[in-house]
Structure 1
Amino acid sequence: MEFYNFSEQVLRDFTQSVFEKMGCSEIHAILATDVLIKADLRGIDSHGVARLTGYVRLWEKGRINPKPNIKIVHETATTATVDGDAGLGLVVAPFAMDLAIKKAKEFGSGWVAVKNSNHFGIAGYHALKAVENDMIGYALTNASPLVAPTFSSERMLGTNPICYAFPAGKFPAVVVDMATSTAANGKLEIAQRQGKNVPEGWIQDKDGNAALHPEDLKNGGSLLPLGSDREHGSHKGFGLSATVDILSAVLSGASYGPWAPPFVAFMDPLPNQPGEGLGHFLGAMRVDGFRPIEDFKANMDNWIQRFKDAKPIDENQKVIIPGEPELQAEQDRKINGIPLIDAVVNDLNEIAEKLNIAKLAI
């Protein structure tokens, strides 16, 4: 296994070319590219350009509409439901978050449910849009059914990430962005590409036995909820995942639970599917709807500093503030480039050959 470093701009140009070849408008291609590159910059490699192959395969199967007519289908002053018209979630979710922010600016908060969408990248991208407006951001999405609920071996839920983002003053935003499973599926994809096993407690085989190899997931196994098993609190992860599924899909009219359409092209959606496509739930709350923004930011800075100063178990390992590792990765990668493993580069260059665009030079 080898790593190759690419500049941010090289990967932006390549990714935008792929989306445009899929038929996306230039504006949508630039936006979709921005979401993926943000993941790579923040060190969330499982949701960056490595995901391009998945989007292309879904597009080839007709499950992604490159020219969606994204529209509001239900609305009140502070809420709305958006139909993504089977578009890229990378485009649909920012539309919904912009709408939530617009409502929040006028009424104090905005909440938007989305149906008929696809994978929306990292939740943090969308929640951080609210932070840019001195708001608290909230982003959820349901996902391909790969996770078994507590006491089951059947895939019923997605990794169903949840993200809160809080603005601060002198410190960067606090960003809590996590899957409600023990690990994101993308991490298993990376492990598979690297030929590595995964830690115990991430997955189980088709019979519900503990498993270590990523291939067990493809062979009918399942991811486990956050907490791994009942003795270690998996019912809490199951509960969080269920909440995401209900707010993202049951509320919006998207497909929920085991009917959520899979991100991988080799799996077809289940028949008799209730709802339409994947669902998201985006929210924005004006901080000054609760107290002056300067006071909140001052207290957030104090909160952050106190947690950073918490007595460590090991002097070499300080407490990490949520969002801190991603910010450090972004600062480093903007200067030193984005590393991609050879398997990902090979996948991307296969796409380039198929779509007749310039390959990544290595």
Structure 2
Amino acid sequence: MKFYTFTEQHLRSFTENVFLTMGCPQTDAQLAADVLLRSDLRGIDSHGVARLSGYIRLWEKKRINANPIVKVVHETATTATVDGDGGLGLVVAPFAMKIAIEKAKTYGSGWVAVKNSNHFGIAGYHALMAVEEDMIGISMTNASPLVAPTYANERLLGTNPMCYAFPAGKYPAVVVDMATAAAANGKLEIAQRANHPIPEGWVQDKDGNGSINPHELKEGGSLLPLGSDKDHGSHKGYGLGATVDILSAVLSGANYGPWVPPFVAFLEPPTDPVGEGIGHFFGAMRVDGFRPAQDFKDHLDNWIERFKSAKTVDPDKKVIIPGEPEYAFENERKKNGIPLIDAVVNDLNALALKMGIAGLS
């Protein structure tokens, strides 16, 4: 496996060009590229430009609308439901989070459910939009069914990520951004490209036995909930994944559970949908709706400092604040560039050739 390093601007221009060639309006192409690049910058390589080919394959199958009319279809003072018109989740999700933020500015909090969307990138991107307004941001989405509930060997839930982001004062925001499965599917894709085994506890085979084969999902296996198995708290991950599914889809009118359309283009969506597309859920809460914002941020700084000073089992290790590694990655990669493995570079160059645009190198 070999790594190539690209500047943020080079990858951004390439990614925008892909979306423009796909037929996206300029502003949508720029926004979609920004979501993917933020993922790569924050070290979440599984959800960055490596996913470009997946979006294009879905568009070629007419399962992504490159030029959607995104609109509010149900609304109260503090809530709304958005129809994404089959558009890129990378575009639909920021649209919805902006509505939540605007409602929060007026009423203290805003809550938006989304239907008829697609994969929205990293949950952290959208939650952090609220942080910029001194708000607490909440972002979640359901996803293709790859996860078996506790005791089952049938895929009924997605990796269903959720994110909570909190504004701090002198420190970066605290960002709890995680899948509710033992591992995100993107991590399996990275292991597949690198031809590396995966850790125990991530997946089970079609008979319910643990496996370290990164290709297990292609052979009928399933991801496990956060907690891995019934003896290690998988019911908690199952419960969190169920919560995301209900808020994102049952509430909005999107597909839920096994009816969520797959992200991979070679698998067809269920023929008996119970809703429209993929669903998301967003929340924004004004900190000053609870106490003065600066007081909260000062005390969150104090919280961070106390946790960072915790005694550790290994004196060479420190407690990590949620979001801290991603912040460090972002600083380092903005300065030194974004590394991509050769398999991803080859895939993106092949995509460029197919679309008739300039490749990465």
The TM-score bracket by the shorter chain reads over 0.9
- Could you report, residue by residue, the CA deviation over 1:79-105 in whole angstroms, capped at 9, with x for unpaired residues? 000000000000000000000000000
Q: Distance in 1 between matches of 2:347 and 2:316?
A: 38
CA displacement at 1:219 relative to structure 2: 1.1
Q: Distance in 2 between matches of 1:261 and 1:358?
A: 31
Counterpart code for 1:330:
E
- Could you report, residue by residue, the CA deviation over 1:45-99 in whole angstroms, capped at 9, with x for unpaired residues? 0000000010000000000000000000000000000000000000000000000
CA displacement at 1:216 relative to structure 2: 1.2
Counterpart code for 2:287:
V
The residue that corresponds to 1:320 in the other structure is: 320
Partner SS state of residue 359, structure 2: coil
The residue that corresponds to 2:2 in the other structure is: 2
The residue that corresponds to 1:241 in the other structure is: 241
The answer for unaligned runs of 5 or more in structure 1 is none
The residue that corresponds to 2:14 in the other structure is: 14
The residue that corresponds to 2:339 in the other structure is: 339
The residue that corresponds to 1:189 in the other structure is: 189
The residue that corresponds to 1:354 in the other structure is: 354
CA displacement at 1:269 relative to structure 2: 1.0
CA displacement at 1:133 relative to structure 2: 0.1
The residue that corresponds to 2:274 in the other structure is: 274
Partner SS state of residue 283, structure 2: strand
Pairwise CA RMSD: 0.4
Q: Distance in 2 between matches of 1:216 and 1:187?
A: 13
- Could you report, residue by residue, the CA deviation over 1:272-316 in whole angstroms, capped at 9, with x for unpaired residues? 110000000011000000010111011101000000000111111
CA displacement at 1:265 relative to structure 2: 0.4
Counterpart code for 2:86:
A
Counterpart code for 2:329:
A
Q: Distance in 2 between matches of 1:252 and 1:35?
A: 23
CA displacement at 1:330 relative to structure 2: 0.4
The residue that corresponds to 2:60 in the other structure is: 60
- Could you report, residue by residue, the CA deviation over 1:103-150 in whole angstroms, capped at 9, with x for unpaired residues? 000000000000000000000000000000000000000001000000
Partner SS state of residue 164, structure 1: strand
Q: Distance in 2 between matches of 1:328 and 1:295?
A: 26
The residue that corresponds to 2:144 in the other structure is: 144
Q: Distance in 1 between matches of 2:141 and 2:198?
A: 24
CA displacement at 1:208 relative to structure 2: 0.9
Q: Distance in 2 between matches of 1:159 and 1:22?
A: 27
Alignment of 1:163-312 (within 5 A): 163-312=163-312
Counterpart code for 1:271:
T
Q: Distance in 2 between matches of 1:138 and 1:100?
A: 10
The residue that corresponds to 2:78 in the other structure is: 78
Q: Distance in 2 between matches of 1:205 and 1:23?
A: 40
The number of aligned residues is 361
Partner SS state of residue 73, structure 1: strand
Q: Distance in 1 between matches of 2:107 and 2:169?
A: 24
Counterpart code for 1:354:
K
Q: TM-score, normalised by structure 1?
A: 0.99
Q: Distance in 1 between matches of 2:67 and 2:226?
A: 36
Partner SS state of residue 160, structure 1: coil
Q: Distance in 1 between matches of 2:266 and 2:214?
A: 17
Partner SS state of residue 65, structure 1: coil
Q: Distance in 2 between matches of 1:351 and 1:208?
A: 36
Q: Distance in 1 between matches of 2:163 and 2:78?
A: 20
Q: Distance in 2 between matches of 1:184 and 1:215?
A: 14
Q: Name segments (4+ residues, structure 1) moved above 3 Å.
A: none
CA displacement at 1:270 relative to structure 2: 1.2
Q: Distance in 1 between matches of 2:3 and 2:119?
A: 26
Partner SS state of residue 226, structure 1: coil
CA displacement at 1:207 relative to structure 2: 1.1
CA displacement at 1:23 relative to structure 2: 0.4
The residue that corresponds to 1:119 in the other structure is: 119
Counterpart code for 2:280:
H
Partner SS state of residue 246, structure 1: helix
Counterpart code for 1:194:
A
Q: Distance in 2 between matches of 1:210 and 1:314?
A: 30
Q: Distance in 2 between matches of 1:235 and 1:265?
A: 31
Larger deviation, residues 210-219 vs 285-294:
210-219
Counterpart code for 2:203:
I
Q: Distance in 2 between matches of 1:133 and 1:254?
A: 29
Q: Distance in 2 between matches of 1:236 and 1:176?
A: 16
CA displacement at 1:215 relative to structure 2: 1.2
Q: Distance in 1 between matches of 2:121 and 2:72?
A: 21
The residue that corresponds to 2:154 in the other structure is: 154
Q: Distance in 1 between matches of 2:329 and 2:237?
A: 27
Q: Distance in 2 between matches of 1:312 and 1:214?
A: 33
Partner SS state of residue 196, structure 1: coil
Q: Distance in 2 between matches of 1:166 and 1:256?
A: 28
Partner SS state of residue 87, structure 1: coil
The answer for unaligned runs of 5 or more in structure 2 is none
The alignment-based identity, stated in percent, is 73
Q: TM-score, normalised by structure 2?
A: 1.00
